[in-house]
Chain A
Amino acid sequence: MISQEKILERLFVYLGRIAPASTPIHPDVDLIQELGLDSIKVMDLLMELEDEFDLSIPLNVLTDVRTPAQLAEAVVTLMEPANGTVR
């Protein structure tokens, strides 16, 4: 079972590559407003996550996601059924 921390770690590595150096990256930073991610970068980010953790992220579950912490949580939720976790 992959933890939320592990996903966050992965996210930070990716964000570190694309975000402006001047903006500190933390779990509650706003991906769009503060880090300035455009739709292509968001797509790249999701693709990295999909490939890394072998899952499919339907974009429409991300309507309430604004920060890395929220994204990691959404990903964990998506992975639960695949890992046989009973909710």
Chain B
Amino acid sequence: MAELYMSATLTQHALPQRLGDFPTLTEALDYAALGETGLNFYDGRCRLVAVISYAALRREALNMARRLHGLGLRRGDRVALIADTDYTFMELFYGCLYGGFVPVPLPIPSGLGAHDSYVKKLNGLLLSCEASAVFAPTVLLPVVQEAAASLAPLFVGAAKDFQAQAMAQVDLEPSRPDEIAYLQYTSGSTRFPRGVVVTQRAVMANLQGIIRDGLGVRPGDRCVSWLPFYHDMGLVGFVLGPMASQLSVDYLRTQDFAMRPRQWLNLISQNRGTISFAPPFGYDMCSRRVREGEASRFDLSSWRIAGVGAEPIRAEILERFADQFAPAGFNLKAFLPCYGLAESTLGVSFSRRDTGIQIDRINRWELEHHSRAVPFDGDESKASIFVNCGAVLPGHRLDIRDNTGHPLPDRQIGRVTLMGPSLMSGYFCDEDSTQAVIDQDGGWLDTGDLGYLSGGELFITGRRKDLLIVRGRNIWPQDIEYLAECQPDIRPGDVIAFLVPADIEPQVVVQVQCRLTDEAQRTQLQQSLTKLINSEFGLSARVELVPPHSLPRTSSGKPSRAEAQKRFLQQMQSLCGLSMAAG
């Protein structure tokens, strides 16, 4: 798009705003195309590099639908889209919907030297969704072809080269409300990826809830996002949501954000953005990378919804960000904590708007021994703090249940279960996994998360499967990890805590990524951490220092405690085997 003059799409236009009240995504795009808003793409220096209005996007998507038909795809066939932050992704995504095919957004590789692990992971994903066609950015074609080699898709290629494909002269039949809109791959393990099946009806129900009830979208809103398109928050929140409410969006590539986090804030300042989301680490990265006195160079006064989700929310990270950017006009009340998961399309609950972070300080002893959230204003070290994630979206129900499935009263901690129109139909071609999370009689989804309700508002306390149960006490691994992360030389994400079976009682293992090379310093760190954990939690943990980047992560970058535990046990076993063989 080498135009001499390019300008971003407008924020305001004459088209009356509709808040996601469409039967399907394609009907939503048909409507957005009547206005003047659209999508804007920026490079790492905040220069506008591509613009596409919803009108142009719709035209191109219809052409794509005909080209896809030209490949000989059948209705419902999956089309894998390796999703870089680029408008061709949207052309293909909506092209699939117009043509009656199922788009499957998949990740791009990240990091140095990731070739082999990416090929393996992508191969698993392509097999799982049984992709009939695979689209990738040109630079990634060799690696994607390698990953697709064991399949026999009708097409593997770059979107750019696909322009030359002949358009079939067919009457397009877009996917209907009861048909699959797209598959969303979640952070399952590499070996057994799980594709969440989202129907048109589910995505529209969720979008309407997010747009109308969660965010209260109104004319004059403008979105800014660096979230990847293959992630549910990036896709539903910042590709589909703005489209279904006819908002303009300014995009920064995830990598450019990671390299230059300030550009996110620049973009909001420059274009008067009003809605933008990030996991807590996104806010943390800005706090860490902005220099003294630099904050006042931004103008964040337009930012009315600073959404926070996708990982456990720690209030102090957000408070530090708000303090730091107060000179830029950032409003602490703009923070909007929320809870969601791909199995319910994206959004489950949003905190009240214009209130900021609301925390609940509870008694840790009661939490650990009786799974009760008892308000507490005593000694800081004996308290646990959780963030209010708001009430469940209208039309949905959220219950906290015990292990036998019985609903629990307010302030009792249990499994977060969910029912409503946004729920997935299941995992793609994986009845076992589906039955494991959705109960067949009532249709309730077990989210796998733990939490409690207070006055109808949700507080998430952790992931059930990660819980450390020691001597009848429930200990949240996040608490131990956080304690360790607060020590000098240790950063958020450097620590993982899990439980392994042992002779007398289970052993808590704490692995810490450590950059220290001096042996004496390492020993000292190990000892001081062991002592600290012992004094805080009264248990003797086995603290292990591991090399940087060695802790396993899920595809969304969260620490994978289950995988760390598995690796640890395997290692122990092989060590045992060795010593027995030697003996």
Contacts and interface: CB of A to CB of B under 8 A. Distances in A.
Answer whether A and B are interacting partners.
Answer: yes
The 8 closest A-B pairs by CB, nearest first: A66-B113, A59-B255, A63-B115, A43-B259, A63-B109, A63-B114, A47-B259, A36-B548
A60 B113 contact: no
Contacts of A61: 139
A30 B549 CA distance: 13
Interface string B517-556: 1000000000000000000000000000001110000000
Contacts of B547: 33, 36
B259 A62 contact: no
Nearest to A65: B112
Interface residues of A, number: 27
B48 interface: no
A59 B111 contact: yes
A65 B108 CA distance: 16
5 contacts: A47-B259, A59-B255, A60-B109, A60-B137, A65-B112
A50 B113 contact: no
Contact of A22 (B108, B109, B139, B517): B517
Contact of B259 (A30, A37, A46): A46
B118 interface: yes
Contacts of A60: 84, 108-110, 137, 139-140, 255
Interface string A28-54: 001111001111001110110010000
A39 B111 contact: yes
Nearest to B255: A59
A62 B112 contact: yes
Contact of B112 (A36, A42, A47, A58): A42
B323 interface: no
Contacts of B218: none
A33 B259 CA distance: 21
B258 interface: yes
Interface string B55-94: 0000000000000000000000000000010000000000
B260 interface: yes
The SS class assigned to the B binding surface is loop
Contact of B548 (A38, A56, A59): A38
A16 interface: no
A58 B139 contact: yes
Given A43-B259, A56-B43, A58-B139, A63 B548 contact: no
A56 B44 contact: yes
A50 B139 contact: no
B50 to A, nearest CB: 13
Given A22-B517, A43-B259, A58-B139, A64 B115 contact: yes
Interface in A60-85: 60-66, 71
A32 B113 contact: yes
A26 to B, nearest CB: 17
A61 B139 CA distance: 7
Given A39-B111, A59-B110, A63-B111, 5 more contacts: A32-B113, A36-B515, A37-B112, A39-B258, A59-B255
B10 interface: no
B143 interface: yes
B495 to A, nearest CB: 14
Interface in B457-510: none
A33 B113 CA distance: 10
A47 B515 CA distance: 22
A32 B258 contact: no
Contact of B113 (A38, A47, A58, A64): A64
A66 B113 CA distance: 5
A58 B258 CA distance: 12
A82 to B, nearest CB: 14
Contacts of A32: 112-113, 548-549
Nearest to B288: A40
Interface in A6-42: 20, 22, 30-33, 36-39, 42
Given A32-B112, A42-B112, A58 B515 contact: no
B549 A38 contact: yes
A63 B259 CA distance: 17
A62 B114 CA distance: 8
B260 A47 contact: yes
A32 B549 CA distance: 8
